[in-house]
Structure 1
Amino acid sequence: MRAEPTILHVDLDAFFAAIEQRDKPSLRGKPVVVGGTGGRGVVATASYEARVFGVHSAMSTREARSRCPHAAYLSGRHHVYREVSRLIMAELRGLSPLVEPLSVDEAFVDLAAGDLPGTDPDSLAQVGQALKDRIHEVTGGLTASVGIASSKLVAKIASDLDKPDGLVVVPAGTEAELIGPMPVRVIPGVGPATGERLRRVGVTTVEDLRRISQDELVRLVGQAHGNGLFALCRAEDDRPVVAEREAKSVSNEDTYDTDLVDKRLLEGLLTKQARGVAERLRKARLSGRTVSIKVRLHDFTTHSRSTTLPSPTDDPATIGRLARALLAEVDTSEGVRLLGVGVSGLADWIQEDLFALEEESAEPESEEVDAAVVRRRAGWSPGMDVEHTEHGPGWVWGSGVGRVTVRFETAATGPGPVRTFADDDPALSPLRRPSAEDEAD
């Protein structure tokens, strides 16, 4: 255990939804839900206005719509989220060389590895506030919640105590007192199954857990798990901040506020991520031989699995099939907090698909036809950025029965007008963005 609170945890508040509200003035102060918009969709993030109605991440979109039918349901713009995440991580690395990202919007920072004005609570609070101010500035108004403590465990708990836009510094020596009255689920490692086992023996708070002997905990949940819980409930956590430096790869990962335990849901999310990775590979004209998955469990332990093909691929079905097979090797029964798919061993060549070549050669080569192909392939997903030759930039409000409705506004314009067009209107097209530079890390 550290003698001083020099581990910082930062968590962006409702990250995806906050970015959508930033860029879409008409949605500011209103409920916004980002995630799958179809009947089998899953909520990735809900704005605080939507959370009032009981909407939360990992909830089915169907249930979210029943609870908050008047919210804006958007499919998400992950290229924008990655761009903003890069800005945030750059600020963190300016604070310390030891930064451990947990997802695009969350990370641990080892303040002891940087230049600190002091380690007393007031000095650390100033460091935390300065970081929050910088994040607010470089992201165009997003807020972050920060916890600073002597361990990862307590820093993470502290960042959740005063959300949104919170800042909590936990003085050394007060950690056990702080977490004692909290629900036992606040301890990493207490997922749905473990929580139910503990409830059956009368354990509902962290203080209750401390009353269970180490031998009894081992009997209830197993040796490794029981020994870990015995230490964590006493705020004993010496895990270091480890900077992640991955080999060059293309990957896609998501984190969830609620631990996911449904195997079919996890497989479905992996399949969707695999499609995203394949799309990014193709945009960058890359392929890869090694498919890997990253699974962060309820207790923040991270498991990686990988398999290598004899030749490179950019095929979404192949990547998805291998990712699902790798997932079967990981015990996810206690819940999954983060899930990701990656492809490495990159090559700058692709084995051409003859059928795809035939399909492409059958289309006339003209800018007008190319734009129509882009529109047909992209579809009009709610929230996507578009541009109109007359009205300028905007975003898709909704589409169906041959029409697409667009609100023409940007982060700088204020709420804008709404117009409806035929979905094949040649004047309307997806907003084009550079892809190779920001898609391949």
Structure 2
Amino acid sequence: MTRKIIHIDMDCFYAAVEMRDNPSLKNIPIAIGGAVSRRGVIATCNYLARQFGVKSAMPTHQALKVCPELTLVPGRMALYKEISTQIHQILLRYSNIIEPLSLDEAYLDVTDSKLFSGSATYIAQDIRRAIEQEIGLTASAGVAPVKFLAKIASDENKPNGLCVIHPGEVEAFVASMPLGKVPGVGKVTEQKLADDGLFTGRDILAYPKEQLLSQYGKMGRVLLERAQGIDNRPVVTERVRKSVGVERTLVKNITSVEQCEQVLAHLYQELNRRVERAQAQDRIRSLGIKVKFADFQLRSAEQQTAYLDASLTTPLLLQILQRHQGKEIRLLGLSAHLEEQAQARPQQLTLLDALH
């Protein structure tokens, strides 16, 4: 049976909430983000700010350079979560097969829905109507037989738009589909593909299969499937958490190992608390560290471990710093990567146990 998948994506969600609650912000470029003094980054911005080149994850000081008129608005995460819950309650009227991706987007499987005579297009239209009428915010929607195409489609007519890819249109759509639109293809991979003369789904199918898989590994196989319109992933109602992390953007850049260790000690304590809150102590498979340098280069290292161990942080740090000696650091992060399912592990004696 051909599936009917809808991807709902709120339009510049955080910024839209602020413009709804404060109409004076509607016709000026605004961004939700930290102050320059705290070395913040932009969480999101409205479409007017995007016309100036402001983007999500852009350092705030850089955003103010490209758009000096930008108005910074402090985020209200508790409110965004509350509104996200209201949106989810609306979605439940149309399907109980919902996969939230974040506060502002979700997949719905409406394959078996009897609403609107089973029309996924009309269902998507009514979802957008209900969200706008009841919450005062606009959403864009994509409708397609598979997940990745529904997600691409929701971005086609933003903001406040709808795009439908019917089953009979899939082959032509993926043939001309820019590979940069495929979820999971970042800027680096997109450039590498371009260097190999690969720009569209049609190019992927014309490329030697073995060469594609050899050069791109798992991503090569994904691209081969997507170029044929294949995506067998179901809409998953319960997502298994894969990692727990914590990071800190520093007030001032640092350079020494000792300075980094002081920051990592605090991050480790917070990571421990978050792992406990997530009840994930028995699912840990590795500890990871990431370092963002002053030039915004991001580097990471990982060590397999069955439990959190603070003594691993310094060796991981040194793995990175030895290759980037003397570079200033602006951000440090720690993360615990988790097994997909809890696995029973044999009890391991610690040195403290042995001493007793």
**Alignment TM-score > 0.5, same fold:** yes
* Equivalent-residue separation in structure 1 for 2:7 and 2:219 (angstroms): 24
* Structure 1 residues 158 and 308: alpha-carbon distance in aligned structure 2, compared to 1, 3 A threshold: same
2:86 maps to 87
2:353 maps to none
Map Cα deviations across residues 409-435 of structure 1 (whole Å, 9 max, x no partner).
xxxxxxxxxxxxxxxxxxxxxxxxxxx
Unmatched 5+ stretches in structure 1: 254-267, 296-304, 311-321, 331-441
* Structure 1 residues 110 and 226: alpha-carbon distance in aligned structure 2, compared to 1, 3 A threshold: same
Q: 1:33 aligns with which of 31, 34, 38?
A: 31
2:167 is the alignment partner of 1:172: yes
1:229 maps to 223
* Residue aligned with 1:180, SS: helix
2:132 maps to 136
* Structure 1 residues 287 and 228: alpha-carbon distance in aligned structure 2, compared to 1, 3 A threshold: closer
Map Cα deviations across residues 270-318 of structure 1 (whole Å, 9 max, x no partner).
x99x97997xx9xxxx96764799x9xxxxxxxxx997679xxxxxxxx
* Equivalent-residue separation in structure 2 for 1:113 and 1:98 (angstroms): 10
Map Cα deviations across residues 94-147 of structure 1 (whole Å, 9 max, x no partner).
21110000000000000024333334xxx33221111101111221x1000001
- Read off the aligned partner of 1:64 and give its amino acid letter: A
User: Equivalent residues in 2 for 1:19-418 (5 A)?
Assistant: 19-39=17-37, 40-119=39-118, 123-139=119-135, 141-222=136-217, 224-244=218-238, 290=280, 324-326=334-336
* Equivalent-residue separation in structure 2 for 1:90 and 1:246 (angstroms): 21
2:323 maps to none
- Tell me if structure 1 keeps the 8 A contact 2:6–2:108: yes
- Tell me if structure 2 keeps the 8 A contact 1:87–1:138: no
Unmatched 5+ stretches in structure 2: 247-262, 289-303, 310-331, 340-356
Offset at residue 252 of structure 1 (A): 9.6
1:379 maps to none
Q: 2:12 aligns with which of 14, 17, 22?
A: 14
Deviation larger for 99-108 or 41-50: 41-50
* Structure 1 residues 176 and 151: alpha-carbon distance in aligned structure 2, compared to 1, 3 A threshold: same
Map Cα deviations across residues 147-172 of structure 1 (whole Å, 9 max, x no partner).
11100011011101000001111111
* Residue aligned with 1:96, SS: coil
* Residue aligned with 2:15, SS: helix
Offset at residue 326 of structure 1 (A): 2.2
* Residue aligned with 2:204, SS: helix
1:363 maps to none
Identity %: 36
* Equivalent-residue separation in structure 1 for 2:47 and 2:335 (angstroms): 36
* Equivalent-residue separation in structure 1 for 2:271 and 2:141 (angstroms): 31
* Equivalent-residue separation in structure 2 for 1:104 and 1:252 (angstroms): 18
Greater fraction helix: 2
TM value normalised by structure 2: 0.68
* Equivalent-residue separation in structure 2 for 1:42 and 1:26 (angstroms): 23
Offset at residue 53 of structure 1 (A): 0.5
TM value normalised by structure 1: 0.56
* Residue aligned with 1:29, SS: coil
Number of residue-to-residue matches in the alignment: 276
* Equivalent-residue separation in structure 1 for 2:11 and 2:306 (angstroms): 35
Offset at residue 213 of structure 1 (A): 2.4
* Residue aligned with 2:58, SS: coil
Offset at residue 187 of structure 1 (A): 1.5
- Read off the aligned partner of 2:336 and give its amino acid letter: L
- Read off the aligned partner of 1:18 and give its amino acid letter: A
* Residue aligned with 1:165, SS: coil
* Equivalent-residue separation in structure 2 for 1:246 and 1:89 (angstroms): 19
* Equivalent-residue separation in structure 1 for 2:11 and 2:305 (angstroms): 32
* Structure 1 residues 323 and 114: alpha-carbon distance in aligned structure 2, compared to 1, 3 A threshold: farther
Output the aligned Cα RMSD.
3.5
Offset at residue 226 of structure 1 (A): 1.6
- Read off the aligned partner of 1:49 and give its amino acid letter: L
* Structure 1 residues 62 and 151: alpha-carbon distance in aligned structure 2, compared to 1, 3 A threshold: same
